Structure formats: C-alpha cells, structure tokens
C-alpha cells in the first residue's frame, strides 16, 4: 500500500515535504510542479498510481499525506525528531472522528504505544488534558519516549487496568471524550500470517469480545462523557458490530451511534439496525489495514460530526 504520514503540527509545513521531494533530483521547475501537485486532493484511483517523489493530501483525512509505496521515512529528520508519525490511514480515524474540542479532557483507555494519543494531542493543539492508560509496562515506556519526542506535554500516563479506573473519581469529572482501542485479534493487519489467523480459536475470539464489551461498558460509566470512539484492527463482527450492539442494548436510550463520516465508502456490517453508522476499512476498499470504528454519543446532546 501507500506510505502515509501524519503531520503533528509544531511548525511542519508542506514546504518540509517539498524539500524532501527535491532532495534527490529537484530543480526549481520541479519545485513549482511539485508544490501545485502536492496539495491537490486526489481520488483513490490517483493514490494507486502515485510514484516517484510525488505526494498527495489524503482525500479523507486532512492532516494525512500520501506517498508512493516503499517510501521510507524512518531515517528522515522529520520522523526522527518526532515532527511526524507514521501510521496506517485507518488507525487515524478514531482520533479524527472523536474530534475532541480544544482544551477538553480526554481518556485514551488502552493507549500504548501511543499513536492515537499523539494524534489526539495534535487535535487538541497540546492543550486540555489526556489521561492515558495501559497495562503493559514496556509499551508504556515506548509511548512515553514517543510522546516526549513529539513534544506532547498535556498528558498523564498510568500503568493501570482501565477496568479498575474509578469513573466517579473527581479527577475525571470533566472527561467528555474517550478513545477506546482495546486489545483485539489483529485479524485486519495486512502483515498477519495466515497461520496466526488459523490459530485464532472460537474461545479466544469470545474471550476478546467479552473483554471488549466490559471495557466499552466501563468507559460509558464516566459521568461527563459525551462522545466515545471504539476501534479495533479486527475484521471479525464478534469484536466489532456485536460488541457495539450488545453495549448499546445494555445502555437503553442513554447512548446512540453517530453516523460517522458519511462519505467514507465502507460501512459496518448490517448485523443490527443502525450498524451502517459504523465504519469498516480494508485493503481492497480503502487501501488500508482491516479496521473498524464506531462513534457513540450520549443521547440528548448535540455533537459535531465531521463530514
């Protein structure tokens, strides 16, 4: 697939990428052509034929740049200094769709290694506050380094099982937004081996789905939460539509599904009425990993829905 780069702000502009594109063979003439072609919005078909040193603004996500396959930014100054992060396009959907307002308090419930946390911080313009939780010490250490390098300051990391975080604790009383990206089977990952998928037993899938339901229910217990983005990189309905449906039923009329990103081409499987409000992503349809996102909001509240 294509190489995708997310700008984190901190003074990174299109010019930085134009400079990169000119590194090899640029001339002034190329530069003019490049600058005009770089900022054009492409179609998915155009993305497929992207080559050489050309790059495009993504057609769906405004802070995403699309480069030809095999472009490698790992040694680039912009990446090593933390000004950009490299992330699959589908993984950029949850923070974008959660769309927390400037200065707000946000929980990232299963946060490590922090890709979505850094995206949230960029959306929040490093203001407000992010409470980030994870159980895995090693992943949290990586996350801390990554967030510091990216200049994220408005966050607090905790090594804690999110299920044990008390929703009534006054420190979370202003949390309006929750990003929930729990452990899943990973069945949507393009690099996943067929053997790994074959080894995913029905019991393991049920155990994951049980955890995902519990953690989603728990997140909705935070008293001020208005909007929540739930995501997995799984293709299985058991971890996606079924989890969302079960929890919505349990909530009665307290929460509803937002019709997230209506122009996104790939929708939730029609397993329950309203499931098409959820998003799916796949290598074939959206040139991304397999992914799922649902956005829930508290009923009776008007929430801004990105179009």
C-alpha pair distances (Å), 229 with each of 9, 137, 169, 202: 23, 24, 22, 26
Whether 266 is catalytic: no
Contact region with ligand SAM (CB under 6 A), list: 70-78, 106-114, 246-254, 282-290: 106-114
Q: Which of 7, 105, 116, 237 binds ligand SAM (CB under 6 A)?
A: 116
# residues near ligand SAM by CB under 6 A = 18
Q: For residues 130 and 55, what is the distance between their CA atoms, to the nearest angstrom?
A: 32
The reply to whether 139 sits near ligand SAM by the rule CB under 6 A is yes
DSSP state letter for 101: P
Residues in the chain: 307
Structure tokens at 224: 């001020």
CB of 180 to ligand SAM, least distance (A): 9
Q: Which of 65, 110, 243, 275 binds ligand SAM (CB under 6 A)?
A: 110
Considering only residues 184 to 223 of the shown chain, the ones binding ligand SAM according to CB under 6 A are none
Q: Report CA torsion sign: 222, 234, 133, 80.
A: negative
The reply to whether 136 sits near ligand SAM by the rule CB under 6 A is yes
Q: For residues 103 and 125, what is the distance between their CA atoms, to the nearest angstrom?
A: 8
The reply to whether 10 sits near ligand SAM by the rule CB under 6 A is no
Judged by CB, which is closer to ligand SAM: 42, or 113? Answer: 113
CB of 211 to ligand SAM, least distance (A): 7
Beta bridge partners of 293: 231, 279
125: left (phi over 0), alpha (psi -120 to 50) or beta: left
Dihedrals φ, ψ of 41, to 5°? -80, 125
Q: Which of 22, 135, 269, 303 binds ligand SAM (CB under 6 A)?
A: 135
Q: Which of 223, 216, 261 is nearest to 241 (CA)?
A: 216
Contact region with ligand SAM (CB under 6 A), list: 40-48, 179-187, 200-208, 281-289: 179-187
Q: Which of 125, 127, 145, 161 binds ligand SAM (CB under 6 A)?
A: 161
Structure tokens at 8: 């984190």
Which of 92, 110, 233, 277 is flagged as catalytic? 233
Which residues bind to ligand SAM, rule: CB under 6 A?
110-116, 133-136, 139, 161-163, 181-183
Catalytic positions, written as ranges:
233
């Amino acid at each position: 697939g294509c190489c995708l780069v997310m700008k984190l702000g901190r003074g990174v502009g299109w010019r930085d990428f134009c400079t990169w594109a000119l590194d090899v063979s640029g001339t002034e003439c190329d530069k003019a052509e490049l600058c005009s072609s770089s900022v054009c919005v492409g179609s998915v078909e155009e993305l497929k034929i992207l080559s050489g040193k050309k790059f495009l603004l993504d057609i769906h996500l405004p802070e995403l740049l699309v480069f030809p396959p095999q472009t490698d930014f790992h040694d680039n100054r912009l990446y090593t200094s933390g000004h950009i992060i490299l992330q699959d396009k589908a993984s950029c959907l949850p923070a974008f769709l959660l769309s927390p307002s400037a200065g707000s308090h946000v929980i990232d419930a299963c946060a490590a290694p922090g890709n979505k946390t850094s995206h949230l911080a960029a959306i929040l313009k490093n203001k407000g506050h992010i409470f980030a939780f994870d159980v895995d010490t090693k992943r949290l250490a990586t996350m801390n380094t990554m967030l510091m390098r990216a200049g994220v300051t408005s966050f607090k990391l905790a090594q804690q099982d999110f299920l044990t975080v008390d929703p009534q604790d006054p420190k979370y009383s202003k949390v309006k937004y929750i990003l929930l990206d729990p452990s899943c089977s990973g069945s949507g990952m393009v690099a996943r081996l067929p053997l790994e998928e074959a080894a995913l037993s029905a019991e393991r899938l049920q155990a994951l789905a049980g955890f995902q339901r519990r953690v989603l229910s728990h997140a909705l217990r935070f008293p001020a939460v208005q909007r929540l983005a739930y995501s997995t990189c799984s293709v299985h309905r058991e971890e996606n539509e079924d989890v969302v449906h079960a929890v919505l039923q349990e909530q009665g009329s307290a929460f509803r599904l937002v019709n997230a990103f209506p122009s996104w081409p790939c929708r939730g499987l029609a397993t329950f009425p309203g499931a098409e409000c959820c998003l799916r992503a796949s290598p074939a349809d959206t040139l991304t990993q397999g992914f799922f996102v649902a956005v829930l909001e508290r009923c009776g509240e008007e929430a801004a829905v990105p179009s």
